[in-house]
């Protein structure tokens, strides 16, 4: 770290060490994100210490503490939930190790605890999903929502953005909402329960592709046609989601870009050198209809 020894943050041979605490391997998005980070670190000649928290905050905190102990040059992580980070981030600050938030944000009053947050505008993603539904519905529309991990920034924000966008339309009603933990199996299980207790579901709004793909399995198992009998909106646009969209099983996907590796490594180099960086860096994204998915698939990297 850039500290009392007067070093510029690099080791004796000039190599930077980055400690990265990943959320887990819960989705196609996460896999693409991990690959992007590993590849970009290699290309930038940054020594990457990588840990997978299996979606548990205590595991992430433990990894961050071990990176502090190792005196890495920079710590980056994607916080599994929004709250509960102040204590460990204070420890990093006291050890003079700069912290970068990537993908997910934290909810803290002290924004000196991190240098910058690189990630998507999840509220806007939720709005895009809601606006599409408003523009593509007529008559009463019952929605069930498959939420991401409780307490995670993308779950909180995608819910909020969607609600905001559909709030003006009295025909659209969210009749059930539940945590599917961003996994395919979680989406399938919750959707099975929804189908058992409601016979009037028109639309599934899933906070990621994986849960939407799980819902497709549950809908088929109930003898219904996904994309026809029940329309499906998801977020991410990973390959498996885009294929289901092109095949007509999903109706609309809001993109969330996982390829953050290159930008992250640039930020690592800048903060290690003591440079001031922008506090919030947003990722640019689009949306896909079924026709657009078909056209985009051949060039899709993930």
Residues that bind ligand GYE (CB under 6 A): 26-27, 29-30, 103-104, 154, 182, 208, 210, 235-236, 256
Nearest to 132 by CA among 290, 295, 256, 257: 290
Both tokens of 274, joined, read 């003591």
Closest CB 296 distance from ligand GYE, rounded Å: 18
Q: Considering beta carbons, is residue 202 or 209 the nearer one to ligand GYE?
A: 209
Closest CB 148 distance from ligand GYE, rounded Å: 6
Nearest to 119 by CA among 132, 106, 129, 131: 106
Closest CB 52 distance from ligand GYE, rounded Å: 13
Q: Which whole-number Å values give the CA distances from 230 to 198, 249, 258, in the listed order?
A: 12, 9, 28
Per DSSP, helices labelled H in the chain are: 28-44, 57-70, 86-94, 122-135, 153-166, 184-197, 209-221, 239-246, 261-272, 290-296
Closest CB 173 distance from ligand GYE, rounded Å: 25
Closest CB 254 distance from ligand GYE, rounded Å: 10
Q: Considering beta carbons, is residue 30 or 128 the nearer one to ligand GYE?
A: 30
What secondary structure does DSSP assign to 56-124, as a single string? Answer: -HHHHHHHHHHHHHHT-SEEEE--SSSSS-HHHHHHHHHTT--EEEESS----S-GGG-SEEEE--HHH
Q: Which whole-number Å values give the CA distances from 287 to 49, 65, 217, 228, in the listed order?
A: 34, 38, 23, 20
Burial class of residue 301, CB neighbours in 10 A (0-12, 13-18, 19+): exposed
Closest CB 8 distance from ligand GYE, rounded Å: 32
Q: Considering beta carbons, is residue 80 or 97 the nearer one to ligand GYE?
A: 80
């Amino acid at each position: 770290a850039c500290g009392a020894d007067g070093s510029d943050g690099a080791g004796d041979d000039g190599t930077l060490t980055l400690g990265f605490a990943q959320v887990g391997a819960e989705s196609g998005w996460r896999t693409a994100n991990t690959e992007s980070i590993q590849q970009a670190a290699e290309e930038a000649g940054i020594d990457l210490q990588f840990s997978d928290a299996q979606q548990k905050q205590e595991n992430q905190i433990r990894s961050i503490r071990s990176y502090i102990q190792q005196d890495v040059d920079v710590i980056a992580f994607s916080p599994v939930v929004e709250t509960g980070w102040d204590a460990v981030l204070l420890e990093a600050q006291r050890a003079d190790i700069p912290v970068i938030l990537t993908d997910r944000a934290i909810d803290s009053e002290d924004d000196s605890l991190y240098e910058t947050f690189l990630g998507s505008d999840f509220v806007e993603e939720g709005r895009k999903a809601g606006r599409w539904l408003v523009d593509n519905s007529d008559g009463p529309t019952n929605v069930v929502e498959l939420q991401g991990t409780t307490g995670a920034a993308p779950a909180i924000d995608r819910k909020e953005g969607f609600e905001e966008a559909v709030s003006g339309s009295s025909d659209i009603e969210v009749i059930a909402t539940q945590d599917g933990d961003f996994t395919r199996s979680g989406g399938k299980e919750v959707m099975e329960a929804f189908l058992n207790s409601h016979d009037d579901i028109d639309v599934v709004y899933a906070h990621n592709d994986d849960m939407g793909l799980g819902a497709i399995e549950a809908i088929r198992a109930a003898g219904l046609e996904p994309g026809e009998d029940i329309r499906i909106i998801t977020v991410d646009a990973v390959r498996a989601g885009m294929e289901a969209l092109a095949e007509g099983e999903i109706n609309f996907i809001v993109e969330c870009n996982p390829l953050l590796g290159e930008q992250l490594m640039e930020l690592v180099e800048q903060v290690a050198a003591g440079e001031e960086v922008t506090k919030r860096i947003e990722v640019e994204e689009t949306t896909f209809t079924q026709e657009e998915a078909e056209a985009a698939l051949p060039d899709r990297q993930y």
